[in-house]
Amino acid sequence: MIAACGVSTAEQQTNKRVDKKPPAQIVSDKPKIIAFGDSLTAGFGLAEKESYPYLLQERLKADGYNYEVINAGVSGETSLGGLERIDWVLEQDNAQILVLELGANDLLRGLPVAKMKENLETIIKKAQAKNVKILLCGMLAPPTMGAQYQREFVAVFPDLASEYKLAFLPFVLEGIALDPKLNQADGIHPNAEGSKVLTANVYKALQPILKK
């Protein structure tokens, strides 16, 4: 199973999307959930209102939560790219939760697992230093990467979640991967229906750390 997450030429998305350059500070007294990731978060190939951060915002509103969701997804992003922009992303006013969804592009490019873990760990430490809670989203690796790489890659996410006591979603594409009805033609990125399942996965894992 190939892990999802995009290409560097992916479509630009809106929905309060944070780009590679620092955005204007979003002024709001609402507590913020920062959806921080790659093309799965950015909503590659989808309309703005089909992206998971947008759908998550709607779900939170419907259930009486007063959070504002910020889409900080960048298609093609690696863990290193995330590390390079995490400082100013965390400067968002009243940032309270970080949904950390990175690593799939490291996998697709065959980048060293140890370096990916180091990058993710640094992101986690930076967020925790600002008292931002974290939901870590895990990813799986296909056997084609080799048994050792596969084992090491898959282990990174639960290991970090355990060490840093994070909320944890073991596989962000649970119920979506390999289902042609829920993916775009590339077989990697969720379509509009798949995005709904992705939103449900994230929301379920988020609920224990949400406050009304």
The residues that are catalytic are: 39, 186, 189
Phi first, then psi, for residue 119 (nearest 5°) are -65, -45
CA 170 to chain centre: 12
**Residue 10 tokens, joined:** 């992916």
Report d(CA 175, CA 49) in Å as an integer. 21
Residue 173, burial from CB neighbour count under 10 angstroms (0-12, 13-18, 19+): buried
Residue pointed to by tokens 């309309």: 47
* Alpha helices (H) along the chain: 39-42, 52-62, 79-89, 104-108, 113-129, 147-163, 192-206
Residue 118, burial from CB neighbour count under 10 angstroms (0-12, 13-18, 19+): middle
